[in-house]
Amino acid sequence: MSSVTVNISFQDRFLDSIDQVARRESRSRSELLREAARIYIERKERWNQIFAETSIQSSKQALTEKDVLDEISLYRSEKRK
């Protein structure tokens, strides 16, 4: 698999934080940023799938956005009890 070098700009303090985490995990800055990008992309793809499936289900059941928000509120209030 070939690699391409990419230039990215970070504020100094943020880059310091990246370097600290990389040192703590005994990995290079590049490894850490590749992993962060991979996790971000996977998470976005999962959320896109969830939203797509939810949209299909809500259309089938003729749910409105308010119905969904009401259900979420009910779930959260029951969970707090």
pLDDT given for residue 55 in this prediction: 76
Q: Is 29 helix (H, G, I), strand (E, B) or coil?
A: helix
Quote the crossing angle between the two packed helices 29-60 and 12-24, to the nearest 10°: 100
pLDDT at 61: 80
Domain ranges in the chain are 12-80
pLDDT by residue, tens only, the chain of 81 residues: 898 999 999 999 999 999 999 999 999 999 999 999 999 999 999 999 988 887 777 777 887 888 888 988 998 998 887
pLDDT score, position 56: 75
Residue 29, pLDDT score? 96
Cα separation, 74 vs 71, in Å, equals 5
Q: Are 32 and 18 in contact (CB under 8 A)?
A: yes
pLDDT at 39: 97
Give the long-range contacts of residues 7-16, CB within 8 A, separation 24 or more.
8/33
Q: What is the pLDDT of residue 50?
A: 87
